[in-house]
Amino acid sequence: MVIKAQNLKGLADKFNDIKEAKYSSNLREPLAASYVRGYNWPKQVKSEEYSFGVPTNSNDTVKGIFEA
């Protein structure tokens, strides 16, 4: 937490941390860490040669790509 509402000491602080750990926002958005989306990617995506999207030429227009 960035700002605590109370100045808790000892066991009260530990009990408060246990209660805070139950919130889904605390689990998915921990401080000083990136957002955990929980994606389960296939093995092919994790390889070095895999890339997202459709390969295009540098002179293609967006309209031309979607008309094909």
Range of the domain at 35: 11-67
Distances in Å between the Cα of 15 and the Cα atoms of 8, 9, 41, 50 are 10, 10, 36, 46
Q: Does residue 43 belong to any structural domain of this protein?
A: yes
- pTM equals 0.29
Q: Are 35 and 29 in contact (CB under 8 A)?
A: yes
35 found inside a domain:
yes
Residue 1 is assigned to a structural domain of this protein: no
**pLDDT tens digit sequence for 18-55:** 887 777 676 667 677 777 778 888 888 888 888 888 77
Question: Is 15 among the domain residues?
Answer: yes
Q: Is residue 25 part of a domain?
A: yes
How far CA 28 is from CA of 13, 21, 38, 44, 50, in Å, comes to 22, 10, 9, 26, 27
Whether 45 is in a domain gets the answer yes
Confidence label for 8 from pLDDT (cuts 50, 70 and 90): low
Q: How many domains does the chain have?
A: 1
